[in-house]
Amino acid sequence: MEVLARPYDLWEGIYKIWLIITIIIYAVVAIPALYFMIRYRYKPGDREVGDQEHEGHWGLEALWTIIPLIIVLYLATHGFAVFTQMRKPPENALELKVTAFSWGWMFQYPNGKVVVASAIRDTEDKKCRPEECYGVDGVFQQYVYIPAGVPIKVLLTSQDVIHSFYVQPAGVTQDAVPGRTTYTWFQINKPGEYWVFCREYCGQWHSRMFAKLKVVPKEEFERWLRGELADSGHESGKGAVANINAEAQEVVR
Amino acid sequence: MREAVHVEKPWFSASIWEWIFTTDHKKIGIMYGVTSTLFFILAGLMALGMRLELFSPGAQYLKPETYNYFLTVHGTVILLWWAIGVWASFANFLIPLMIGARDVAFPRLNALGYWMFFAASVIALITLFPGNQIMTMWTGYPPLAAKEGVGFAGTTALFVFIWHLTGFASIAGAVNFITTVIRMRQPGIGFFNLNLFIHGVIAANVIQLLGVPSVAGAVTMLFLDTYLNTSFFDPTKGGDPLLYQNLFWFYSHPAVYVMVLPAFGIISEIVSAFARKPIFGYKSMVLAIWAIAVVGFTVWTHHMFVSGIPDWVKILMSYTTLLIAVPTGIKIFNWVATLYRAAIVYRTPMLYALGAILMFLIGGLTGIPLGLPAFDIAVHDSYFVVGHFHYVLGMAVTLSAFGGFFYWWPKVTGRMYSETLGKTSFWLVLIGSNLLYFPQLIIGLMGMPRRYYDYPAIPEWVTLHQIQTYGAFILAFGLFIAIVALIKGALTGEKAGPNPWNSNSLEWRIPSPPPPHNFDRPPKVEENYCPHKYRK
């Protein structure tokens, strides 16, 4: 069975292990605790004072030091292995250069094509209805086309403050730090629309810093990349990019 | 020159003049408590404002900059005034009483520390005036925090001064409490029969002493970058924004233990007193506290797992982060074992302490995956993190602080609070908190980023946000009842005897409220003195 997105499949594995261990530990602590709370209540004439000699038990204390130690060492080592796998982008990955700015990202494809996903900055914000605030208008906020089933390596940087880049279905987050290039990778197998959010607080419109990924079959993506797809907003996009860049520069200053 | 320790009347009959110039540890403790609680209420009201805004998607009542301001003040105030500041109140009032001293080692320094804290409070209030808002978040990451203005940081200087002044108060307090406990104990009270509360507070103060200089340096550089054109953190001039994050978290992660170790201490005091038996595994409790304090300094980069640091550092600090779970687990197991063959008296402080243990366990278990970079990569800076630290701070710390208020209220005021109101407040707080914080964990796993003023109208997200808002109001109502119970108790409650809880600890051997000089004669402790025992 094909997974929806990578490396989310790896994340799900470690998530399930953690969840099971967590539920077991909670039960191991809470069930005896609740039992003692009910069983050893103060009862006048019968149980007025607790057992004064019961001050510790060497074996028990060693037990609940060593077993948790083994569990956390296992978790950290397993996490180490999974993380190493997660961080390695496949060889054939498509490279996408992403530059964050306040408040949006500029995506550069290998053939030089540029797409901008910028927050709709409506100063009289009361007018912006929820579906509009997070909508794609094709000018400032353009669809980011991604081929289905192809690994994408993202090279990230920022031109002003620290932002971040979170691909919801793939479960990857990476900060975009000015003066540095960081990377992450993901792959989405099923065509559709998916969210990208900024997760590092970056000022006034942090909450509206999002992008919509439009995952399409590979052939359709190739046509879009060559500018043959009507929906691409290609021409109007160019003007918008210039505007956004000018504005972003202004913000920096 | 006036004597440093100058107390004639009990604390409750002091004049305004005496309050201002006092060097009495009890009065200073009460001033810390009142200041912390008032700011806790302020930060709580701001949280209610944010919860109303998030009740549905789209802009509701607040502007984004106002929301960001509320969020910054909520974070800063809850951490520095409440989760750290409130322990200065407990430590001031209780440490000298618990070790049989007449005051702290440096009473004047103590007073200076409080007034620095007060000055920080004034600066926090100045941010309420238009044009002075801070929108840096409590972390103040540059380059954002070095960009003044409404869309970005607001007024950076005020953010920096808050850190400087509270940091000064912390260091003054740390020097004072550490010296007091080392030098002023009654003979017979040693390292292994100190109150666990004192161990918690002193470990926390050692962290303060070693850590605060790091964050003070970081915010000072931030100040210089902002106003004097230096470039410590400005990449366009050769600086590095991640340097700030390293310096900041080198203190601010251990600071989490500054907040939670005294809470552990209070839980131990309360659980042992109401179980009417000695704390189980006292020595391993002490060692666990100090292990947490030491290992806590080696885990800070888990706050930076997605910031672009090398992968090997992430793995290294992933191991150290998870190791903290071991001593923390020891403490939880020991508390549970204390309940075995006990005679548990269910009074309000005990409910709060038991609630704190079972809720802290959720906070701890949700913290473990955040220490694994492989897990963290999907939930970093999401609501999952928000849920996790609210289980620790909003539950473990706040429930133990209120547990502590109820527990020592008869000692501080000489009067008993109303048990009905106290217990009602506990159940409301417990239910409200869980309705508020548990959905945060779920919505975080779904991907909801933190520090969002608005969010897309995804149906599950809307529902989960609405549950949180209902929970927040139940929680607020519960805390209101708790405060009413305490104030009503102080004014009209029944008179409490010197030792209403039958505890063996020294503070319960003097009248309630304590006389001006605490002990008329230095108290002699019995051989094999242990503070966590039943005493008729």
- Is there a contact between A3 and A9 (Cβ–Cβ < 8 Å)? yes
CA angle B72, B81, B532 (to 5 degrees): 140
Question: Within chain B, which residues score under 70 in pLDDT?
Answer: 1-12
The residue length of chain A stands at: 253
**B518 domain-assigned:** no
Chain A contact set for B151 (CB, 8 A): 102, 203-205, 251
Taking CB atoms and an 8 Å limit, are B365 and A26 in contact across chains? Answer: yes
DSSP B273-303: HHHTSPPTTHHHHHHHHHHHHHHGGG-GGGG
Task: Tell me, yes or no, if A22 comes closer than 8 A to chain B by beta carbon.
Answer: yes
Interface of B with A in 133-192 (CB under 8 A): 135, 137, 141, 143-144, 147, 150-153
Residue among B366, B362, B373 at smallest CA distance from B444 = B366
Q: Among B417, B411, B482, which residue's Cα sits nearest to residue B29? A: B411
Q: Nearest CA to B308 among A96, A220, A133, A154?
A: A154
What pLDDT does residue B28 have?
Answer: 95
CA B122 to chain centre: 20
Q: Which residues, 6+ apart, have CB-to-CB distance to B498 below 8 Å? A: B508, B509, B510, B511, B512
The alpha carbon of residue B35 is apart from the nearest alpha carbon of chain A, in Å, by 29
In B, minimum Cα distance to A185 occurs at B377
Interval A84-141: pLDDT, tens? 999 999 999 999 999 999 889 999 999 999 999 998 665 555 556 666 788 888 888 8
Residues B107, B98: Cα–Cα separation, whole Å: 17
Contact B232, B239 (CB under 8 A): yes
Q: Give domain A5-87's CATH architecture.
A: Orthogonal Bundle (1.10)
Give the angle subtended at the CA of B261 by the CAs of A24 and B119, to the nearest 5°: 135
pLDDT (0 to 100) of residue B150: 82
Q: Is residue B477 part of a domain?
A: yes
Architecture label for domain A94-252: Sandwich (2.60)
Tens of pLDDT along B176-210? 999 999 999 999 999 999 999 999 999 999 999 99
Q: What is the pLDDT of residue B433?
A: 97
- Looking at the complex, report in whole angstroms how far the Cα of residue B252 sits from the nearest Cα belonging to chain A: 18
The CA-to-CA distance between both ends of chain B, in Å, stands at: 44
Q: What is the pLDDT of residue B15?
A: 80
pLDDT at position A253 is 38
The answer as to whether B528 is a domain residue is no
What would the DSSP string read from start to end of A111-163? TS-EEEEE----SSGGG--HHHHT---SSSB--EEEETT--EEEEEEESSS-E
Half-sphere exposure of B28 (CA within 13 A, CB side): 32
**Number of independent structural domains in chain B:** 1
Minimum mean pLDDT range among A51-55, A201-205, B372-376: A51-55
Residues on chain A touching B137 (C-beta within 8 angstroms) = 201
> Does residue B365 sit at the A interface (CB-CB below 8 Å)?
yes
CATH of the domain at B283: 1.20.210.10
Tell me the residue range of the domain where B393 lies: 22-509
Chain A partners of B278 at a C-beta cutoff of 8 Å?
52, 54-55
Distance of alpha carbon B208 from the chain centroid: 13
Tell me the chain B residues in contact with residue A131 when contact means C-beta distances shorter than 8 Å: 457
pLDDT of residue A236: 45
Touching check for B447 and chain A: CB below 8 Å?
yes
Q: Which chain A residues touch B144 with a CB distance below 8 Å? A: 161-162, 201-203
Which regions of chain A carry the CATH code 1.10.287.90?
5-87
Give residue A141's pLDDT. 87
Tokens of B315: 């793995």
- On whether the CB atoms of residues B343 and A48 are closer than 8 A, the answer is yes
Rg (CA), chain B: 23
Report pLDDT digits (tens) over B381-417.
999 999 999 999 999 999 999 999 999 999 999 999 9
Residues carrying CATH 2.60.40.420, chain A: 94-252
Measured between CB atoms, which of A79, A179, A202 is closest to B373? A79
The CA radius of gyration of chain A, in Å to the nearest whole number, is: 26
Q: How many Å apart are CA A127 and CA A120, to the nearest integer?
A: 12
Question: CB under 8 Å to B266, separation ≥6 — which residues?
Answer: B90, B197, B200, B353, B400, B401, B403, B404, B407
Q: How far is A88 from chain B (nearest CA, A)?
A: 11
Q: Which residues from chain B sit within 8 angstroms of residue A172, using beta carbons?
A: 377-378
Residue B532 lies in a domain: no
Q: What is the DSSP letter of A20?
A: H
Q: Which of residues 116-135 of A touch B (CB under 8 A)?
A: 125-126, 128-131, 133-134
pLDDT over threshold 50, residue A197: yes
How many CB pairs below 8 Å do chains A and B form together?
A: 282
Chain A interface includes B368 (CB < 8 A) = yes
Tell me which chain B residues have a C-beta less than 8 angstroms from the C-beta of A22: 365-366, 368
* Helix (H) or strand (E) run with residue A96 in it: strand A94-101
Q: Give the contacts of A189 (CB within 8 A, at least 6 positions apart).
A: A2, A3, A4, A5, A6, A148, A149
**Is residue B524 in a domain?**
no
Q: Specify whether the CB–CB gap between A117 and A99 falls below 8 A.
A: no
Residue B90 carries which DSSP code?
H
Distances (CA, A) of B486 to B374, B376, B440: 46, 41, 30
Contact A83 B374 (CB under 8 A): yes
Report the chain A residue with the minimal C-alpha distance to residue B153. A203
Does residue A235 carry a pLDDT above 50? no
Q: Does the beta-carbon distance from B377 to A54 stay under 8 Å?
A: no
CB spacing of A72 vs B326 below 8 angstroms: yes
Q: Model-level pTM? A: 0.94
Q: Flag if A68 and B144 touch (Cβ within 8 Å).
A: no
Query: CA distances (Å), B199 to each of A192, B256, B380, in order?
Result: 57, 16, 33
Considering only the beta carbons, identify the residue of A32, A131, A207 that sits closest to B453: A207
Among partner residues A126, A173, A251, which is closest to B377 by beta-carbon distance? A173
Which tokens is A150 given? 């192809």
Q: Flag whether B535 is in a domain.
A: no
CA distances from B352 to A22, A36, A218, B395 (A): 23, 17, 58, 10
Nearest by CB: A33 against B135, B336, B365: B336
In a domain, B77, yes or no: yes
8 Å CB contact of B58 and A73: no
Strand partners, A153: A95, A185
For residue A225, count other CB atoms closer than 10 A to its CB: 17
- Rounded to the nearest angstrom, the minimum Cα separation between B268 and chain A is 13
